[in-house]
Amino acid sequence: MEFNKEFDASGLSCPLPIVKTKKALSTMTSGQVLRVISTDPGSVCDMAAFAEQTGNDLLEQGSENSKFVFYLKKA
């Protein structure tokens, strides 16, 4: 999937993947896609909860090279 920006949260624990994802999104414009990479298993549920509460669309999530990958479309 195409994306405009990438944020690598590998090695970070709660709440940093979410808090820093929010920070990364704040530098983007509406409709742009952010790709987030994380190694925190908790971020799977957290990212969905973040997307639901902030209105940013979680387009896709999966895993690559035993890391978690998320695509968020900025609201």
Partner 1 sequence: MATKKMALIATKGTLDMAYPPFILASTAAALGWDVQIFFTFYGLQLLRKSLDDIKISPLANPAMPMPVPMPVFVQMLPGMESMATMMMKNKMKSKGVASLQELRDICLESDVKFVACQMTVDLFEFKTSEFIEGIEYGGAATFMKFAGESDVCLFI
SS3 18: helix
For partner 1, the binding residue among 21, 43, 68, 73 (CB under 8 A) is 21
58 binds partner 1 (CB under 8 A): no
Nearer to partner 1, 33 or 47 (CB): 47
- For residue 38, how far is the Cα from the chain centroid? 8
The whole-angstrom separation of Cα 20 and Cα 43 is: 12
Sign of CA dihedral 42, 44, 50, 52: negative
16 binds partner 1 (CB under 8 A): yes
- Active-site residue flag, 45: no
Smallest gap, in angstroms, from Cβ of residue 64 to partner 1? 19
Active site residues: 14
